[in-house]
Amino acid sequence: MKEQIPVGMNRTGVQMSPFETSTMQAGMPASMTPATPGDDTALADMRSQYITDADAIGSVPVPATVQGAVAAGASMMLGNQPQLLLDKLGERLAFERTGTRLYDALITKFEATQDSTTSMTLADLQKIRQDEARHFSIVASAIEALGGDPTSQTPCADLVGVESMGLVQAVTDPRTTIAQSLHAILIGEMADNVGWEMLIALAEDQQQISLISDFSVALDEERAHLLQVRNWLEEATLGAVVSDGALVDDISDANPPQVH
């Protein structure tokens, strides 16, 4: 069953006021030239000034343990930037924490709405929620193994905290539907996929081979999450899953998704 979008007294478009719209348009020039003088140059100038004067968003802390300091020092002597890996681990830690909270919020919404626009089950959501929490633990352990402090907020962790605020707001808004919440979660899962791919590449680059097997398991799970979330969103929006660009009328007839 597709999601039902309500039709109502939406006043945001100009067509709600045809008389005022024509009056407004009568005062506008035919070309795209603004009717009022000025442009955004002053705004850009002010932004440029702030950019030039700004400090960086925090820093990566120096490893507090002797073992960590030795490992970081050795890694630097090899020409690596261990702080880069620690920063990206901090980013993944923050995003996986948010991912866990996003699924907590979706589970609450799913239970409250008894939504039937998708084939999603509570067990499906609980499984993904557990995956996200385990991913968080994997990253925390990796940071500790490198001598870092998983409780510290690195610059990229700070950044994704800001970026994902909108996702959390979208899913926790009591008015958003399951489909609308899934759209926000889709953004998170897409970032999850690329994030793990980059983290694996970075760990390989810095010869941190022992981290890669756990990271690869997480990446496989993220690929499955992305496919599932996308399929649920398509079910809620189209009434079916789009497979290979073709609309499949009956979901049960669709080929099972291939996760590579």
Taking the complex as a whole, how short is the minimal distance between the CB of residue 132 and Fe ion, in angstroms?
Answer: 4
CB of 102 to Fe ion, least distance (A): 9
Q: Which is nearer to Fe ion, 58 or 161 (CB)?
A: 161
In the bound complex, what is the minimum distance in angstroms from residue 133's beta carbon to Fe ion?
9
- C-alpha distances (whole Å) from 129 to each of 110, 125, 136, 161 are 13, 6, 11, 18
- Residue 149 or 222: the one with the smaller Cβ distance to Fe ion is 222
Residue-wise burial string across 77-109, b where 16 or more C-beta atoms lie within 10 A, e elsewhere = eeebebbebbbbbbbbbbbbbbbbbbbbbbeeb
CB of 177 to Fe ion, least distance (A): 21
Are the CB atoms for 204 and 213 separated by under 8 Å? Answer: no
Footprint on this chain of Fe ion (rule: CB under 5 A)? 96, 99, 132, 135, 189, 192, 222, 225
Q: Could you tell me the end-to-end alpha-carbon distance of the chain, in angstroms, rounded to an integer?
A: 29
Q: Which is nearer to Fe ion, 101 or 135 (CB)?
A: 135
Instruction: Tell which residue, 52, 39, 142, has the closest CA to residue 88.
Output: 142
Nearest distance from C-beta of residue 34 to Fe ion, angstroms = 44
> Residue 247, SS3?
strand
Where in 182-239 does DSSP place strands (E)?
A: none
Cβ-based nearer residue to Fe ion, 72 or 89: 89
Contact 220, 186 (CB under 8 A): no
**Measured distance CA(228)–CA(119) in Å, rounded:** 10
Task: Report in angstroms how near the CB of residue 192 gets to Fe ion at its nearest.
Answer: 4
Residue closer to Fe ion by CB (options 72, 157) is 157
CA distance linking residue 189 with residue 222, whole number of Å: 7
d(CA 236, CA 29): 43
Residue 135 C-beta: closest distance to Fe ion, Å: 4
Q: Which is nearer to Fe ion, 127 or 159 (CB)?
A: 127
CB of 259 to Fe ion, least distance (A): 13
Nearer to Fe ion by C-beta: 71 or 219? 219
- Position 156: which residue type? C
Distance CA 79, CA 62 (A): 17
Q: Cβ–Cβ contacts within 10 Å for residue 125, how many?
A: 20
**Shorter beta-carbon distance to Fe ion: residue 222 or 234:** 222
